[in-house]
Structure 1
Amino acid sequence: MNRWLTYFLVFFVMVLWGLNVVMLKLLVTSFPPVTMTALRIFVAGFVVLLVLLLLKTFRQLTATEWKYVILAAIFGVLGHHFFLSIGLTMTSASNAVLILALLPLTTSLLAILLLGDMLTRWRGFGIFLGLIGVCTIVLFGEGGLAGIRTGDGVIFLAMMIQALSFVYIKKATDTLDAKQVTGMMLLIGSLLLFVTSFIIEPNGLASMGDKALWIWWVFVISAVFATGLGHIIYNQAIHQLGTGETAIFNNLVPFFGLLFSALFLGEAIALAQIAGLLFIVAGVILGTGHVDAWMQKRKRRFDQVG
């Protein structure tokens, strides 16, 4: 695939993922949230595995690979998407997208704590900037500390659980194709979500049939394009561009999330949210090791010249 075409496709996926937070807000207010999420994730997983079968890249898993895929599904799908769907019923899409923007930084911190990644000066400073961003949003946002919603805490928990799932995803993808890991964890996680929905929303599936056609189109765009095909494109970009270069595009997601929250949901964007976003983006760039990698690459280049 042409490099510039890859850039365009990843950029388009970031637009979709920013829009997806808005779509999820609409979906959880129109459908039973857990049941809808289970069905949406199942459709996304089916799309990913269908692509894998067409490409003939699907293979049998070892016992160890099954363990890591199942753990990734429990944390990354069941835990993350359960709390995300519940949290979105109790807070704004703009707040949710800002909290979710902490995911790369949280993942980097967990990699330092659990996987033995090195804590450099720049990464530590990046984590510090990310915390300033959160404090800015919380302390100077609408209503200050009194304005914090329960949903914000639930979204934060969803973000933390997803970051933890990346530890198991990393272990699974050491030996297994990332697209297969994604498809399988989506399908396994969706089945676990269905079991959960039957307990807390026993009439969930029956109540989904009488909705307007437009909301079902939102469902299809979110499931098939944003979640299913979006992850395939993103994984392919990682293969072609590398993890670091592809991850930088993630900083566009909160920007588009805020933009679409204002355009489609009429949510007011506060100055504190914009300031907090800038701190978080700067923190992500520094805290996830991009600056360290760039400096090391530059040093090697100078050493070769010298």
Structure 2
Amino acid sequence: MNRFKIYLLLIAIMFVWGVNLPAVKYLTAQMGPVTMTSLRIFLAALMVFGVLFSFGLVRKLTAREWRYVGIGSLLNVVIHHYFISVGLSLTSGTNAGLILGASPILTAIFSLSLLRLRPSKLQWIGLVLGFIGVSATVLSGNSETSRISLGDIYVVLAVLGQVLSFLVISKASKTLDPRLQTGYMFLMGSVGLFIISLIQEPGEWRMFAEMNAAFWLLMIASGVIATALGHMLYNYSLGQVGPPKAAVFINLNTLFALLGSAVFLGETITGLHVVGFIVIMFGVLFGSGAAEELWRMKARKANRKKAL
């Protein structure tokens, strides 16, 4: 798959993750967030393995690959999903959005120091623009840039766990299909989250029997489409274009989350949201390397015309 198709795929994934926000907010309000998340991730694992089995992509892993899966499930599933679910219940949406918007910058920094992947000057500009756009979007109409709370610390830990997992997935992709790694990570991570839920939310699993049809419809849709297919395709894209380029698209997640909240939750979109959208789009264009590739393509065409 060429780079531009990967970029279009990443935009589609961000759209799905963004509009998934209202569903997740509804689900976490119905029962303990860790218990609910453990089942949602388990459903995602079943979906991923179902897809991979149909394509004959499931295989035994080597000892080295199991180490990557274990580290990835701890970082990307247990730590990320635990701290994001608990953190969002303890801090404002503004603070959480700003912290999550820093993910691409952190990914670039860790990639630079640990993987020796050096973003170009334009990519650094794109990462900064993306962060500015996310900040403008989240701060629009909201004055709750409040003090640092325990919830903020939890969200920071969630972002760090996810960012570090991107590097693990990128390194493992040399021998292990990221889609298969996603399935194993979800399976192991869901078990870990369920164990945590038994300690932190004892007896909460009994609430599943009392949930209505709307809950189960959203649970299945969120687990299968947003979590399973979304993460499987995102991790595949991560292995194709590298952590810094893939992570910059996370900026779009905030934008689509706001649009989803406006449509499904009736929240208002302001002029500053529009400004944030424009800045985010430029950030993605520069940060992903798409602008540089377009310029290179134009330069090659111009050179061919001169040669003729």
Q: TM-score, normalised on structure 1?
A: 0.81
Q: 1:214 to 1:260 in 2, by over 3 A?
A: same
Letter of the aligned partner of 2:117 in structure 1?
Answer: D
Asked if the contact 2:130–2:251 (Cα under 8 Å) also holds between the matched residues in 1, the reply is: no
Asked if the contact 1:102–1:284 (Cα under 8 Å) also holds between the matched residues in 2, the reply is: no
Q: What corresponds to 1:186 in structure 2?
A: 186
Cα deviation, residue 58, structure 1: 1.1
Q: What corresponds to 1:22 in structure 2?
A: 22
> Is 2:73 aligned against 1:73?
yes
Q: 1:278 to 1:31 in 2, by over 3 A?
A: farther
Cα deviation, residue 183, structure 1: 0.5
Q: What is the distance in 1 between the residues matched to 2:127 and 2:249?
A: 19
Letter of the aligned partner of 2:179 in structure 1?
Answer: K
Q: Any idea what the Cα deviations from partners look like across 1:104-143, whole Å, max 9, x if unmatched?
A: 4432332122211124221222233234335546776522
Comparing 113-122 and 60-69, the one that deviates more: 113-122
Q: What corresponds to 1:286 in structure 2?
A: 286
Cα deviation, residue 249, structure 1: 6.9
Comparing 82-91 and 72-81, the one that deviates more: 82-91
Asked if the contact 1:68–1:169 (Cα under 8 Å) also holds between the matched residues in 2, the reply is: yes
Cα deviation, residue 218, structure 1: 0.7
Cα deviation, residue 52, structure 1: 1.4
Q: Any idea what the Cα deviations from partners look like across 1:13-66, whole Å, max 9, x if unmatched?
A: 444222212211111111210011011001101110122122221111111111
Q: What corresponds to 1:53 in structure 2?
A: 53
Cα deviation, residue 186, structure 1: 0.8
Q: What corresponds to 1:84 in structure 2?
A: 84
Asked if the contact 1:21–1:93 (Cα under 8 Å) also holds between the matched residues in 2, the reply is: no
Q: State the secondary structure of the residue aligned to 1:209.
A: helix
Q: State the secondary structure of the residue aligned to 1:57.
A: coil
Q: What is the distance in 1 between the residues matched to 2:137 and 2:52?
A: 41
Letter of the aligned partner of 1:47 in structure 2?
Answer: M
Q: What is the distance in 2 between the residues matched to 1:247 and 1:294?
A: 20
Q: What is the distance in 2 between the residues matched to 1:234 and 1:98?
A: 22
Runs (5+) with no aligned partner, structure 2: none
Letter of the aligned partner of 1:38 in structure 2?
Answer: S
Q: 1:26 to 1:193 in 2, by over 3 A?
A: same
Q: 1:294 to 1:6 in 2, by over 3 A?
A: closer
Asked if the contact 1:94–1:257 (Cα under 8 Å) also holds between the matched residues in 2, the reply is: no
Q: What corresponds to 2:114 in structure 1?
A: 114
Q: What is the distance in 1 between the residues matched to 2:131 and 2:213?
A: 42
Q: What corresponds to 1:130 in structure 2?
A: 130
Asked if the contact 2:132–2:279 (Cα under 8 Å) also holds between the matched residues in 1, the reply is: yes
Letter of the aligned partner of 1:177 in structure 2?
Answer: D
**How high is the sequence identity, in percent, across the aligned residues?**
38
Q: What is the distance in 1 between the residues matched to 2:24 and 2:187?
A: 19
Q: What corresponds to 1:266 in structure 2?
A: 266
Q: Any idea what the Cα deviations from partners look like across 1:82-121, whole Å, max 9, x if unmatched?
A: 1121233345668756654554443233212221112422
Cα deviation, residue 192, structure 1: 1.1
Q: TM-score, normalised on structure 2?
A: 0.81
Q: 1:246 to 1:74 in 2, by over 3 A?
A: closer
Comparing 57-66 and 151-160, the one that deviates more: 151-160
Letter of the aligned partner of 1:56 in structure 2?
Answer: G
Q: State the secondary structure of the residue aligned to 1:146.
A: coil
> Is 2:150 aligned against 1:145?
no
1:246-257 alignment to 2 at 5 Å?
252-257=252-257
Cα deviation, residue 292, structure 1: 3.6
Comparing 275-284 and 4-13, the one that deviates more: 4-13
Asked if the contact 2:249–2:288 (Cα under 8 Å) also holds between the matched residues in 1, the reply is: no
The number of equivalent residue pairs is 303
Q: 1:21 to 1:32 in 2, by over 3 A?
A: same
Letter of the aligned partner of 1:228 in structure 2?
Answer: A
